[in-house]
Amino acid sequence: MTEADYAVVAEALVKRFGEFAAVDRISFPVRRGEIFGFLGPNGSGKSTTIRILCGLLKPTSGRVVVAGHDVSEHAELVRQSIGYMSQKFSLYNDLTVRENLRFYGGMYGVSGAQLREAIAVTLEMAGLTDMESTPVATLSGGWKQHLALGSAMLHRPPIVFLDEPTSGVDPVARRQFWQVIQRMGAAGTTIFVTTHYMDEAEYCNRVVLINHGKLVALGTPAELKREKLGGELMELVCEPSWSAIEALKALPAVVDAFVFGNAIHLLVTDSTIARAEIQRLLQNAGVAMVRFEPIRPSMEDVFVQLTVRRNAAHAEGAAP
Amino acid sequence: MTELSNSIQVMGLSKSFADQPAIEDLSFQVEPGEIFGLVGPDGAGKTTTLRILAGVLKADRGSVIVGGHDVASDPQTLKRDISYMPQRFGLYEDLTVDENIRFCADLFGVRRKLRQDRATRLLAACEMSEFRGRLAGKLSGGMKQKLGLVCALIHAPRVLLLDEPTTGVDPVSRREFWNMLYALVSEGVAVLSSTAYLDEAERCHRVALLYRGRMLMCDSPKGLRDAVKGAVISIISNQARQVQELITGDDRFAHSVLVGNALHVFVDDAGVRIPELESSLSAGGISYEEIAQVAPTIEDLFVHAVTSEVGH
C-alpha cells in the first residue's frame, strides 16, 4: 500500500505542553473506508491527537498526512476533506433540525439543489427524517448527537473525525449511534473515532489502544484479544465461595487472578496445567471446583494486561 | 445483630420532583457481604435513590431500613453505620492525601491509632501508599476516586453507598477499585453502588436494572442472562451490512445490530434459526466466516428490555 491508499497517516507524532508529553511518538495508518477506533482512558491523549489530525493544533514534532495532504503545509485542503465532531458540539437550540443542517450547509458552502439533496441523505442516514421540523431544544441527548454527526458530514467529506461522540449517552442511544456510524462506514466514509468505552472497540474494524500518550497496541479487536492478552482467560467458580487470590497468583501457570462478581477470572499460560494446579490448591482448602472454563476476553481485559505489563517493565527500568 | 445491621431494606420507595417522578415504587434488599448494583443510564433514578438511602433526601413514600433502623426517623443513629460517597466527592484539593484522610477521620471521631492503622491498610490495598504526601488536586481521576473510597471507609462503616464511583476512571484503577470492594464485602460490609457502565453490572453479586425511575429487573447477572427469552446469533462476515438488509422485514429476525464485522441477530430459538439463516445467506449469495450462538451481555439485555417496554 502506498500513502494514497490511506486516509490518515501519522508518523512519530509528539505533542508537549511544557514538560508534559500529551502525545508521545505515536504512529499509525488509517485505511480508506475503515472505522478506526482510538481507545484510551480519560487524559490519555485522545483529544490532543484528534485535534492535531484535523489541523487545529500543531504537533511539537512528527508528520500527519490526511486525505493525501500534509496537514502542516495544507491545513486548508485538509479541512475541506474532513468532517469533525468535537466532544462539545454546538447546535442551535432554537432552530429546527432542518434549519440547523441548512446553517451548517451554508458554513461549508453547500447550497441549492445540492444542499437539499445533502440534507435528505443526512436525515435518512441519521434516522432523523421524521424529526426535521422538531426544534433542537426538545430533542433527547441521543438525537442531538445524531444531528451533530449529520452536521459534520453534510458536505460529504471522505473522512470524519469524531471525538468521544458517545460520552455520557445512555446505552440504548449509544447503540443506535453506533448503528449510524456503521451505516456511514458502509457507504465508504472513513471514520476515525475516539472513545474511553473499551467495549466500543467491537464496533470498529481496527483499533489503537493508547495510555499516557503512548501507543499500547494496534490491530483488529479479534487480533488484539487473540495475541495481546498473554494467555488464556478462564472463569473459576468454587463451592463454597472461596477467593484466595494471592494463593492463585502464586501458581506457576497463573499470570493473573481477580475476583469478578460471583466468580474468579484468571489469566493462565496453559489451561490444562492451570486446572491441575488449581485443583490441588482447592483440594487442600477443602473447596470444590464447580466450573473452570474459557471465557471471551473483553477489550478492557486486553487493556489492563497490556498496561500492567508495561508499567511493570517501567518499574524494572526495562524498555517497554 | 451484626448480621442485621449490615443490611439494607428498601420498600415501595417513590420520589417526585415538581410532579416529575424520579423513582417509582422501588423495592429491593441488600444482604451483608453483598455488592448490589443499581444499573441504568443517566436519569434512571440512581442518584435520587442513593441520596434517600444516605438520609440526605426525604422520600415521598416508602421506607428504608438499615440494620433495623428507619433512615427517615432515626438518621443520627445511622450516620456512623453508613458511608455515602457522592458522584462528586468533596476532597480538599489543597490538602495532601494524608490530610484528607485525617480530616474525614476527625469528622467521625476516629481515634488516632485506629486511623493510622486503617489508612495504612487501605492505602496499600489501592496501591497509593507512595502518594501519601501528594496534594489531592495533583492526583489523576482514578487516584482521586480511590482516595475518596479510603476517606469513605476510614470510620469502618457497615453499609457503603457509592454513586457512580468508577465513571471516568481508567480501566486499571477501576479494577483496583473493585478489588477493594471485594475485600470489603468479604468482611461483611453491604455495598450498594450505582453505575452507568453496563459491563460493570457483571462484577456485582446482584443488580437492579433501572430505567426512568422504575426497576426493570433485579437478579444476579447470571439470573438476568438466563431470563433472556431467546438467543443471540452472531454472523461474522465482510458483508454484515448486506446480511442485515437481507433479513430486514423478516419477523423471525426482527431485531439485529451491526457490531464491527459481525451482525448480532436476536431470535427465539438459535437451534432452529441458525440453519434457516444459513440457507437464506447462501440463497442470497452472501459469504460469511462464522455463524454461531453467543452469550447475551447485560447491555443486550438492557437494550432489549427497554426497547420492548417503551417501543424506543
For A56-114, how does the pLDDT look when each residue is reduced to its tens digit (9 = 90+)? 899 999 999 999 999 999 988 898 899 999 887 788 999 999 999 999 888 888 889 99
Which member of B141, B171, B312 has the closest CB to residue A300? B171
Check which CATH number belongs to the domain holding B264 and give it. 3.30.70.270
Of A87, A88, A78, the C-alpha closest to A52 is: A78
Check which CATH number belongs to the domain holding B110 and give it. 3.40.50.300
The 3-state DSSP class for residue A37 equals: strand
Regarding whether B264 and B150 lie in a shared domain, the answer is no
CA dist B279 and B285 (Å) reads 10
Classify residue B254: in a domain, yes or no.
yes
Dihedral angle computed from the Cα positions of residues B279, B280, B285 and B290, in that order, rounded to the nearest 10 degrees:
-70
Which member of B168, B175, B199 has the closest CB to residue A304? B175
φ, ψ of residue B100 in degrees (nearest 5): -60, -45
| B247/chain A closest Cα distance in angstroms | 16
Which member of B175, B198, B205 has the closest CB to residue A262? B205
A3-225 homologous superfamily: P-loop containing nucleotide triphosphate hydrolases (3.40.50.300)
pLDDT at position B226, please? 81
Regarding whether B143 and B276 lie in a shared domain, the answer is no
In one-letter notation, the amino acid at residue B307 is T
Inter-chain CB proximity B302 and A186 less than 8 Å? no
Regarding whether B185 and B125 lie in a shared domain, the answer is yes
pLDDT at position B1, please? 41
Classify residue B305: in a domain, yes or no.
no
From chain A, the residues in CB contact with B169 under 8 A are 41
Strand partners, A10: A28, A64
| A106/chain B closest Cα distance in angstroms | 32
Enclosing domain of residue B33? 2-225
Classify residue B148: in a domain, yes or no.
yes
Classify residue B307: in a domain, yes or no.
no
Regarding whether B239 and B172 lie in a shared domain, the answer is no
B214 touches A: beta carbon within 8 Å? no
Q: State pLDDT tens for residues A253-263.
A: 999 999 998 89
Regarding whether B24 and B172 lie in a shared domain, the answer is yes
Dihedral angle computed from the Cα positions of residues A174, A176, A178 and A184, in that order, rounded to the nearest 10 degrees:
-150
| A215/chain B closest Cα distance in angstroms | 15
Entry pTM: 0.82
Regarding whether B201 and B140 lie in a shared domain, the answer is yes
φ, ψ of residue B31 in degrees (nearest 5): -85, 160
Q: What value, to the nearest 5°, has the Cα angle with vertex B71 and ends B55 and B159?
A: 80
Regarding whether B128 and B54 lie in a shared domain, the answer is yes
| A6/chain B closest Cα distance in angstroms | 19
Q: Tell me if A162 sits within 8 A of A193, measured CB to CB.
A: yes
The architecture (CATH level 2) of A230-296 comes to 2-Layer Sandwich (3.30)
Residue A2's pLDDT band, with cuts at 50, 70 and 90, is low
Classify residue B205: in a domain, yes or no.
yes
The 3-state DSSP class for residue B94 equals: coil
Q: State pLDDT tens for residues B197-228.
A: 878 888 999 999 998 899 999 999 888 888 77
Of A72, A60, A4, A40, the C-alpha closest to A215 is: A40
User: B204, B258, B289, B302: which to substitute to probe chain A, counting the most A Cβ within 10 Å?
Assistant: B258
Regarding whether B244 and B150 lie in a shared domain, the answer is no
Q: Which residues contact B79 (CB under 8 A, 6 or more apart)?
A: B55
| A58/chain B closest Cα distance in angstroms | 26
Q: State pLDDT tens for residues B87-120.
A: 877 789 999 999 999 999 998 889 999 999 999 9
CA dist B150 and B155 (Å) reads 10
CA dist B218 and B201 (Å) reads 11
Q: Tell me if B97 sits within 8 A of B105, measured CB to CB.
A: no
B255 touches A: beta carbon within 8 Å? no
Region of residue B51 (phi > 0: left; psi between -120 and 50: alpha; otherwise: beta)? alpha
Which among B164, B194, B225 is the end of a domain?
B225
Inter-chain CB proximity B168 and A175 less than 8 Å? no
Domain count for chain B: 2
Regarding whether B203 and B133 lie in a shared domain, the answer is yes
Q: State pLDDT tens for residues B271-293.
A: 999 999 999 999 999 999 889 99
Inter-chain CB proximity A168 and B42 less than 8 Å? yes
Regarding whether B241 and B270 lie in a shared domain, the answer is yes
Q: Where do the structural domains in chain A lie, given as residue ranges?
A: 3-225, 230-296
Residue A317's pLDDT band, with cuts at 50, 70 and 90, is low
Strand partners, A259: A264
Longest CA pairwise span in chain A (Å) = 80
Regarding whether B198 and B108 lie in a shared domain, the answer is yes
